[in-house]
Structure 1
Amino acid sequence: MQDYHLNKIIFYTLFSFAIWQPAYSQTDRNQLALADSMFKSNRLLEAEKIYLPFLDSQRNENETIRLKLAYIAKSKNDWLQELYYLSSIQAEQDRPAIAKRLHEIGDRQGLSGFQINLFDQFLWIYFTYFPYLMGFFFALALYVIGILSFKKVKKLKIKAYNLYYLAFYLLFLTWFANFPSFLQYGIITKDKAYLRDYASSAAPVKQMLKKGNRIIHWRKKDIWVNCYFQGELGYVKADDYLPIN
């Protein structure tokens, strides 16, 4: 009898979840449609309040939302928020138009690290042609593996350096496919922050950072984060910056 009631409860719980899940999704879509309508009507602050809860979602509209929030920040003369939203898009999909706008903000605020350089141009090529490059590299790897497999079947001698080359090539392929994930960017949000030699407030200051400076960060150690800025490695406090990807 208890099993019967338990199964009944589980059934109704799953049934209710299945019924209400589309409703919540429909509610979200209605909210976004309302925000879009307000955005088009130039009711930007009202639209911003609706967009913000969806900012961290994995929806397809996420990039569009960040672009709209960047526009709203620009209309409020909040250059730091605009810098943050545009940088978060740029970190995932480097684009010339966004790079140009970041460069303009950086110049106006006297910030370094936003100038368009050869590395930006490399990223534009990387993101634009990534599917084709990966297809070519992957096909080449399959071709080499096919040749080595054929030699194995025919019991022909496979030289050791051929296997080493293949292993290094596969490592390169893995690195190339995941290259953007190694660049973890952050924006300094404090008026004054310090890049220190090691993770301590008593450590020598290597550089003084200002609000809006962009850093590359890696591992966290207590309240400190290992980072890179303008050719120097050091540590900044975790609450001095905001990660953008």
Structure 2
Amino acid sequence: MKKMQTAFLKIMTLIILTLLPALVPAQSLGSLLNKADSLFAKKQFTQSFDLYQRLHTEGEYSAAMFLKMAYIQEGLNKPGLALYYLNLYYLASADRQALHKMEELATKHQLSGYESTPMQQAEELLAKRKVPLVLVFGCIAILLTALAIRQKRKGSRPVALAVFTAIWLLGLAWFINFFEAPQAAIVVSNNTLVMNAPAAGASVIGVLGDGNKVLIAKQADAWIKIYWDGKPAYIRHAQVKELAL
């Protein structure tokens, strides 16, 4: 009995020692969030924003935190950062009122890139529901395969079903491996130069102001490739913030 108790105590001690390093930072970050919220409530916005930003850098966030950060940046008349955090709030909460607020800010500051087409909305919806859709499509693929095998065992030749199943499986493989919603970014620097090539000596073909939204076609070191008036163009990565949690 004593041996069992000793073994149990050793196991519990090992578990506690293993979890303790993870629990202490979590508690520390939780107290940091409480402090930031307290400062925000006292309207000490600059100090609270610094703490929220620190939490975000640590990979900790909440939808409410992003909304407060957007409010602070809007108050400082920084539309780029305000829209950036509003976008993050929308990604974290799916609150469609955030879309209306973004459109309102974009209109107020005459910013581009916020026009949402039905195609973009469909791509965003598919990206958000990718995991459950893969499960559903995978189950359908299994059923189709089982049905084709069953018909073959009965002596029939399910050519049409086999072809359809093969196409379905190829489509599913493409969806799993290659489908992604277009990655977007917000320009957070005034007078961001749009170049015709990813090089400092390239020709300037346009200028983007703070707060404009762009779709990223490709990233290349210090540059990101976008499309400017339907043509490939490049801007510096340091002058934008990517919209991703």
* TM-score of the aligned structures, taking structure 2 as reference length: 0.74
- Once residues 190 and 76 of structure 1 are traced to their aligned partners in structure 2, the CA distance between those partners, rounded to angstroms, is 15
The aligned residue for residue 115 of structure 2 is 115
- Cross-structure match for 1:56: 57
Deviation of residue 14 (structure 1)? 9.1
Structure 2 stretches lacking a partner, 5+ long: 1-12
Identity of aligned residues (%): 18
Tell me the CA shift for residue 165 of structure 1. 1.4
Q: Counterpart of 2:81?
A: 81
Query: What is the alpha-carbon distance in structure 2 between the residues aligned to residue 164 and residue 127 of structure 1?
Result: 23
* Structure-2 separation of matches of 1:134 and 1:222: 32
Distance 1:77 1:166 in 2: 50
Partner of 2:209: 210
1:133 CA drift (Å)? 5.4
Give the superposition deviation at 1:127: 7.3
Paired amino acid for 1:143? L
Alpha carbons 2:80, 2:211 under 8 Å: kept = yes
Could you give the per-residue CA deviations for residues 50-96 of structure 1, whole angstroms, max 9, x where no partner exists?
2111113444x433321221122223332221111112344576643
**Taking structure 1 as the reference length, what is the TM-score of the superposition?**
0.74
- Please show how residues 60-139 of structure 1 align to structure 2 within 5 Å: 61-90=61-90, 95-119=95-119, 121-122=121-122, 126=126, 136-139=136-139
Q: Aligned residues, how many?
A: 230
State the Cα deviation string for residues 117-172 of structure 1 (Å, max 9, x = none). 43455367557877775665444333223213434555653536335312333135
- Is the deviation greater in 126-135 or in 35-44? 126-135
CA drift of 1:187 comes to 1.7
Structure 1: distance between partners of 2:53 and 2:75:
16
Q: What secondary structure does 1:81 align onto?
A: helix
SS in 2 for 1:111: coil
- Does the Cα contact within 8 Å between 2:141 and 2:165 map onto a contact in 1? no
Rounded to whole Å, the distance in 2 between the matches of 1:213 and 1:74 is 15
RMSD: 3.5
Equivalent AA in structure 1 for residue 84 of structure 2: Y
1:162 is aligned to 164
Matched, 1:28 2:29: yes
Rounded Cα–Cα distance in structure 2 between residues aligned with 1:75 and 1:190: 17
- Once residues 93 and 117 of structure 1 are traced to their aligned partners in structure 2, the CA distance between those partners, rounded to angstroms, is 21
- Alignment-derived partner of residue 5 in structure 2: none
Counterpart amino acid of residue 195 in structure 2: R
CA–CA separation in structure 1 for the residues paired with 2:87 and 2:212? 11
* Conserved 8 A contact 2:187-2:213: yes
Residue aligned with 2:215, SS:
strand
1:8 alignment counterpart: none
**Aligned-partner Cα distance in 1 for 2:139–2:175:** 11
Q: Which blocks of at least 5 consecutive residues in structure 1 are unaligned?
A: 1-11
CA contact (8 A) 2:90 2:98 kept: yes
Distance 1:171 1:187, change over 3 A: same
SS of residue in 1 equivalent to 2:145:
helix
